[in-house]
Amino acid sequence: MSKEKMKCIVDDKGVINIPREYGLFLCTWNSREVVEIHTKETLKSQYGDTNLFDEDNITWEVNGKERTFTELLAYLSLFKWSGFDDEVYINDNMTIRRIY
């Protein structure tokens, strides 16, 4: 999705107006001190220069295996057609859960 189209993901009636395959993620930091809703694209644009996307940061557990954040997002994106994983994934001071 281009940045021009991502200005607002909710229309004037309060309806989410992005294709479901883009996914929305509820993200929290520091025990819910910060709570944000993101797409993969907004996570990358806002946190791409932090260690969140570092490929050597393999500290997310997915189905009993350690994964990078990029791998976790890819896994969560598998659930685009028939619902999604209802798990909350935790790493240090951050949690993420697919909500749409």
pLDDT at 82: 54
| b/e map 32-58, b = 16+ CB within 10 Å | eeeeeebbbebbbeebeeeebeeeebe
Residue 86's alpha-carbon distances to 25, 56, 83, 89, in angstroms, are: 11, 26, 9, 10
| Straight-line distance from the first to the last Cα atom of the chain, in angstroms, rounded to the nearest whole number | 16
pLDDT in tens, 10-53: 788 888 787 777 788 999 999 999 999 998 889 999 999 999 99
Q: What are 88's two structure tokens? A: 């909350």
Enter the tokens of residue 6: 């991502």
* Model confidence, pTM: 0.80
Retrieve residue 18's tokens: 């992005």
**pLDDT tens profile 56-88:** 888 899 889 999 999 999 888 876 555 556 789
